[in-house]
Structure 1
Amino acid sequence: MYIESKTVIHRLSSHVILFGGRIKFYQSIDYLIHLNLKV
């Protein structure tokens, strides 16, 4: 699970570079990832 989440975060970071201004979108997804890690 941890490795999967790490890959997702890496993928999201490249999405942030692509979208540029969509930081709120990234933050909301990042929040969901934190919830998954807590579970």
Structure 2
Amino acid sequence: ETTNCAFGDEDLRTLYVTAGGNLHSVRTKRPGWLPFPRLRR
């Protein structure tokens, strides 16, 4: 059962999924959507 998912990495092309106590990642062809602006450092 999937418990959470989010896009990450600098280009937002890695989808991270938590399920069954495990963390999975998949590279995608298209970038994900960032709902909040990135923090400036």
TM score, norm. by length of structure 1: 0.24
Higher relative contact order (CA 8 A, sep 6+): 1
TM-score of the aligned structures, taking structure 2 as reference length: 0.23
Give the greater-gyration-radius structure (CA). Answer: 2
**Larger helix share, 1 or 2:** 1
